[in-house]
A and B are shown apart, each in its own frame.
Chain A
Amino acid sequence: MSALSKRYAFVAFVVVLVLGAAGSTAFLLVRAHRDRYHLRTDRMNEWTSYGGVWSLANGTFHNNSNDRGDKLMSGSPDWKNLSFSADVQMDHGSGDAGLMVRSNDEDRGVDAYNGYYAGLRVVEGTLIAGRSNYSWSEVRPVAAPGGVHPGVWYHLQLVMVGCRLGVSAKDLSSGQTAALVLHEEPCASHGRIGLRSVTSGGAWRNVVAGPGTQAALNAIAAQAKGEERPQPLTTEAAYAMHFSDYRPMRPAEPDQRDPQTRASVWHLGDLTGLRGEVPKRVLVRGVVTLTEPDLYIEDSTGGAMVKHPQGPPVNVGEGVEISGEVHPLFYSAQLDQSTLRVISTGAPAPPVSVTPWQAASGAYDARFIEIEGRLTHEPYTENGFQVLDLAEGGETFRALYPDRPGQALRSLRVNSLLRLRGVCVLGKTYTQELIPFLVFLRSSDDAQVLQDPPWWTPRHMLFVGLVLIVLACSVQLAYFRFRQWQRDAIQSERERIAHDIHDTMAQSFAGIGYQIQGLRTSIVRNAAVSRDKIAEQLASTSELVSRCHANASQTIEMLGSASPEEGDLLGMLAERTYKLSGGEIGVSREEQGNVRPLSMRVRSVLFNIGQEAITNAITHGNPTAFTFMMRYEKRFATMMIVDDGSGFDAVPEDEGFGILGMRHRAREIGGTVEVLSSPGVGTRVGVTFPLSRLQFIERLPLHRWHWLRKRAAATPVSE
């Protein structure tokens, strides 16, 4: 491929690259704009929870925890003016649940976020809204017509534009609405969206985010009674006034329970002692620690599994009273045919931190525990559960999590050290007597990565090995290519020398041979050849011999000179001139433009062309001075050799082998040769060639710096 076509190919490649990059950027921008408020409601991966037991099923988010201030966050921290809406349902007769906008700095904790929250509060039956900056301030709550009831769906919409937040709530069963507007200056300017509940589990469906418009905000403001700035409840007296119809969360109702029944409440830890007796109905109380696949409760003495209880759905953290038939197990108990009622709400007790050995001992069967282990295999799905195989301290165990669409455990890598929170189970129904115990996780956040696997995993080692092999092959290939190029260069130079010898000495020797042969023939045939004729022929032969000798000397000189691939090119040409002329010809050299380094191949070709030009000039032109010049343009460079010899009539049709050889060499590097000469005015030979496309690498400062230092230390130039 010629240099020109290579250049065009390169330009075409760059154009395609630029167009591709521009197209990709435009596509991403368009998609980013289109998906600006896109929320994934089919999988939990793009949501982050802070507290709670969150799950997702059929586009509906659930929080099965009554903890204080559970949050599930998503969206972009850059979202500003937006509309965020969802249908919200609470499943407990206390607390509140709702939506968050412009939230930042979230953490576990009741008010541990910086942003806005609006929701529905059950006890007061109000729509509330406020701002938290790790401390809660709220506007005056607005009574929701008909109150707020657990189990009822409410459509909640938040529209935030500038520093005004409009909130509307609609009872989807009755159609009644309530609205308020919060106005705060200055305000939180941007942030994520989220779902939140306080001391109540709940469900959120049809979760949608979109751009917030002034029109939508005005529509809500039209239903609201003015605007308010959120205020903290500053004094106890203000609080008492605020809740003028306040009722304690657990009204002081008279105890309806039968004293006999009360007296027979069993501690969960004592139920195993009933082993061997006929199934007995017992009354127990405890706090819910797990709701699926089975219901587990615990008190301070132990835990128990409750099979298919009759009663309302419960959340983790709720206190329950259960009457059921007890079936003692080895280390805990199971309650069948049970009825359940909720007796209190609250945050779940923190887990007991145990070692795998302690868990395997059975002392923590059916208890909420925290345990650490190293993941031994890739997570997999089995019998409707996502399964984690773990090992630690010589014990192997499993963690199970219900496998539902969109509810995957976050990507976990083999050999990661995990901290798991869940209910410890030793029953063989799940362990299948293959492992001593397993842990039921409540949510995907119950598997926390403490330490990533070491980087020298077999996969990484294989990858590194492959990279090294590829690298070694590349180096080897480059070495072979270099050796090939070296051989080609040597071969090419041999051919050139052979060509030169053929064109000069061989031709001269042939002439000498013909002349001697002619003399011999004349003498042998005893032809009448005059002595003068013989002397003339011998003189001619002698001249040819002298020329051959001169050519041979030049060739020897050329082959013995320093390598053109190193050192100063113009300096070497000047030195060459000095040697050929015995120091009688003046030399000057000059470089113009932004000097750049040349490849070895280019330097070799230029040196040979220059040498040819010098030889020709000295042989035929009798010059007294040479000028060697190198001019660097942006993409091309030109080397010129100018002499003040006798010159000749430069006609392209009459070019000899020397000039043709120069053109041939110049084409090797994508260059051209221009010879300008006229009788009496000297000769100028110019070689124009393209600079390498990889020059930009060579222009890197470090490379440049070394090269410049070398140049600066070079021999001074004579003007």
Chain B
Amino acid sequence: MRFRTIPRHLLQSARLLAPALGALALCGLGCHQRKPPVIAVIPETTAQEVWESAHAEAARVATSWGWDTFWNGPSREDDLLGQIQIMEKEVDRGAAGIILAPDHAVALISPVREAVAKNIPVAIINNPLAASPKGDVVFVLNDDVATGQLAAQRVEPYLRGKSDEVAIIGVHPSFLGSLAIAAAMKAALEREHPGVHIVEQRAIFGSSESEDAEDDLVQKHPDLRAIVALNVTQTRSASDALSRAKLVGKVALIGCEQDFDVMYRVRMGQMDSVIAKDTGSMVRNAMGWIHRRREGTATGETIVVPPKLVTRENIDSPEIQRVLAVHGGML
């Protein structure tokens, strides 16, 4: 008597299939583990070199850790929707961390919350959001008070003590840092020179309108002693407007964001100075915080990075060139 052992070939197939499936699963797991974490760096815009320093520093730090970086941003600082879309794409892609230079203090809060909800640590750099940092969010900000005070110091030599007007252009409520700089500069000037009249102009990111606005500014304010420009576009426009009005050297132009083009104007004496943002250091701090946060040893906080005053005299110094470099600070 015997029973037929029918499923023998199935068992043989299973014996062959099981190790293959196991190997495949292990390979898949292994491949997944081998993929390095990706830090997404989203600047205010990719059009200005001020953010290339941040890009280079992020790449340098990530490489030293064996991580990867993703870099992209809108082509204008006011392309809020573009920045939100990039942010959402990176959240969906499951970035290991996001470094964001927000183009709006309020509108970016929801995308950041969405990232935090997916346990993605977010470092806000340069300008703060209109919400306090906590948990998975850190603020690594430019020292806007120091920037405002430095600007006031640079303006002082140009004041004549009577009917002095100083313009601060590029103030925008979406960029809280610009409000802080303006407030600090006003406070410093009012403290030392109470008679100075401050002219405030909102931020303009289109070059055409900016050109018009700065021409108007120069023409309508004959007692203008200095212009403090908070973004690159308006710095260029103000420089051109002063040049057209033959006021270069008579009206001080102080920029608060660097760009190779703007720095070249400092070299050529067309501008007084630039109070450069150390975006490389901001990103380095942000990367370190994200790394610690992923290890569970960091919480939400605010880190302030001091700016650097760049003049025609110190522009070639190693310290300044390090801040302006776009290669990760390795001179």
Contacts and interface: CB of A to CB of B under 8 A. Distances in A.
Contact of A287 (B206, B258, B260, B327): B206
B80 interface: yes
Interface in B81-98: 81-82
A232 B2 CA distance: 80
Interface string A233-252: 11111011001001011101
B65 interface: no
A325 interface: no
B321 A134 contact: no
A192 interface: no
Interface in A337-357: 343-347, 349-350, 353
B326 A234 contact: yes
A51 interface: yes
Given A237-B316, A240-B264, A250-B240, A299 B331 contact: no
A353 B208 contact: no
Interface residues of B, number: 59
B47 A353 contact: no
Which secondary structure dominates chain A's binding surface?
Answer: loop
B261 interface: yes
A236 B78 contact: no
A262 B217 CA distance: 12
A402 interface: no
Interface string A684-712: 00000000000000000100110011011
B15 to A, nearest CB: 15
Contacts of A711: 4, 6
Given A252-B270, A350-B76, A718-B1, A299 B209 contact: yes
A109 B209 contact: no
B215 A246 contact: no
A235 B244 contact: no
B5 to A, nearest CB: 8
Contacts of A701: 10
A191 interface: no
Given A240-B263, A319-B206, A350-B79, A252 B239 contact: yes
Contact of A344 (B47, B208, B331): B208
A286 B4 contact: no
A110 interface: yes
A274 to B, nearest CB: 20
Nearest to B241: A255
Q: Which of A109, A345, A704, A708 has the most CB of B within 10 A?
A: A109
A489 to B, nearest CB: 30
Given A69-B75, A350-B78, A350-B81, A233 B326 contact: yes
Contact of B244 (A110, A253, A353, A705): A253
A718 B5 CA distance: 16
Q: Which of B205, B212, B263, B315 has the most CB of A within 10 A?
A: B212
A471 interface: no
A319 B237 CA distance: 13
B75 A67 contact: yes
B184 interface: no
B126 to A, nearest CB: 19
A299 B76 CA distance: 16
A344 B215 CA distance: 14
Contacts of B243: 252-253
Interface in A282-322: 285-287, 299-300, 318-320
A350 B261 contact: no
Contacts of B74: 109
A287 B208 CA distance: 7
A50 B233 CA distance: 24
A344 B75 contact: no
A716 interface: yes
A112 B72 contact: yes
Contacts of B239: 248, 252
A259 interface: yes
A248 B261 contact: yes
Interface string B240-272: 100111101000000000101101110100100
A712 B73 contact: no
A68 interface: yes
Contacts of B209: 285, 287, 299-300, 319
Interface string A215-247: 000000000000000001111110110010010
B93 to A, nearest CB: 12
Contacts of A254: 244, 246
Given A109-B46, A252-B239, A712-B3, A236 B211 contact: no
Interface in B36-83: 46-47, 52, 55-56, 59, 70-76, 78-82
B212 A265 contact: yes
Given A109-B73, A135-B55, A233-B326, A262 B4 contact: no
B229 interface: no
19 contacts: A134-B72, A232-B326, A232-B327, A234-B325, A236-B263, A252-B239, A252-B270, A255-B244, A262-B215, A285-B212, A287-B209, A319-B208, A320-B208, A346-B206, A346-B207, A347-B206, A595-B4, A708-B6, A716-B3
Interface of A: 51, 67-69, 107-112, 134-135, 232-237, 239-240, 243, 246, 248-250, 252-255, 259, 262, 265, 285-287, 299-300, 318-320, 343-347, 349-350, 353, 370, 595, 701, 704-705, 708-709, 711-712, 714, 716-719
Query: What are the nearest 9 A-B pairs in CB distance?
Result: A319-B208, A252-B243, A234-B327, A708-B6, A255-B244, A236-B324, A346-B207, A344-B208, A239-B260
